[in-house]
Structure 1
Amino acid sequence: MGLICHDVSDPYFAGIAGGVMRAAAEQDLLVMLASTFREPAREIAYVSMLRAQRARAILLIGSGFQDRAWGRAMDAELDPYVRAGGRVAVVSRHRSLRVDTVQPENRAGAAELAKALVALGHREFAALTGPPELTTVAGRSAGFRKGLAGGRASVSTGWCGGAFTREGGHLAARRFLASGGPRPTCVFAVTDVMAVGALAALREAGVRVPEDMSPAGFDDIPVVRELSPPLTTVALPLTEMGEHVIALALRTPSGAGCSRVFRIDGEVVLRGSTAAPAGS
């Protein structure tokens, strides 16, 4: 069985991979693990290799790409593999892939987080979004925007792109801090890893958290509970997501042309990194 993720050093993917490995071990299954580092061509190449090795199942973990050429190339690899009896299950993939899916409710979770932050009194936000070609970025950004609109709030400092890493979040935060415009009272990062980097940048700039600015993330990776202050986020059951995706891959196929979607709700967890803005 092959497990392909974007970057296993990222705690989000490590948590899901841990759930896969634990469930596989209980059934004496061997899992080969590969990281694509978010390179679409590398992902397709790894799928092709697993096909050639006649892997029992292929698990794809992580966002899809908003790229039709990538979608066609992936379909060209997966369709004959499935027709030959191979099994495919994915986490957080593009809807164009007609396979069994564990789908975190990214849009809804981000909308609920935005509403909770608006309820604290925040109206001016910055958003650290990551690579725009990723479907996870699109879903979480759209959900957050929708949640803000309902509370008559806005992203005043802009949607700041960056790598899906601590360094990417750090650099994006430094950019909006140096922009010279009015500072937001709250910063939303589409992943916790980016939020950790942003938190470091705020501290370096002398910005007090949460007194001057409130950062929030998404995923609830373990480290964010140990930060000072701990990070507000949208919690996903990462280990369980890994267990669910391997279970989908090992179940009896649902039928020709059919695919199952196992939806995972996120839970907004308010922690010490967010508070009502001064003067609210």
Structure 2
Amino acid sequence: MAYSAQVDAFRTLHEAGCFVMPNPWDVGSARWLRGQGFKALASTSAGFAFTQGRADQDVPRDMMLAHLADLVKAVPDLPINADFENGYADTPDGVGANVKLCIATGVAGLSIEDATGRSEDPLYPFELAVERIRAARKAIDETGSGVVLTARAECFLTGHPDALNESARRIAAYAEAGADVLYAPGPKTLDQISRIVAAAGGKPVNALVYGDFGLTVSDIAALGVRRISIGGALARAAWAAFIEATRLIAEEGSFRGFAGNGPSSPLNPFFTEDLKARS
């Protein structure tokens, strides 16, 4: 079965070099990022959740599927990678069924994480976590879509006491289980990122840069990382400016929060011309 043009393009991007895959949260941000020349985009579960008045990890599966379809429609010429959280299921069979629903939205890639979303038991047990990735791999293969599977080890973000070693153990196992790309969000240093790259055994690695860690794209690329995403960082940056401006109005009656505002001129002409190009 021939893969879609977006899947082919996404797979090619992972073959050599390093690319940045930023994370839009709605149609406007997706179109703007496309206009900046990025070659692939990824959804952000947190960024989208905030637009719906929800906390991260509190978006129902069908709402997320509709959002993914909207992003695919918004930038039909670019690959979209889905932040598909934990696959919206605990069991391998449930993950496999939901992965097929995700593929049906037209995404070129999707990630499955090993965080349960439950504070008392934040990570799936090792063996179950590996089986969940195998189930996702099987589901993708059954569709013949070629969608890129990213397996995420959430040890850093869930506060595991030995996060680096446990991430490396899981990454190696997920690579063996059939993941195309490996991803352990949380490392902030070159040494930590290098350990994850080594654990992936030559398969592509995604690094998350969600703050200013003093690292550049070149620094990270030199480690052998193939892909850099930024999660909800852009959405949080927009919200941070919004929160501060509204705080000043509410608490001080001041509009000082608007001092850093730029004119609407970059946005209005861009979206006017962009819409014409889409029509």
User: Does the alignment reach a TM-score above 0.5?
Assistant: no
Answer 1 or 2: which has greater helix percent.
2
* TM-score computed with the length of structure 2 as normaliser: 0.31
* TM-score computed with the length of structure 1 as normaliser: 0.31
Answer 1 or 2: which has greater strand percent.
1
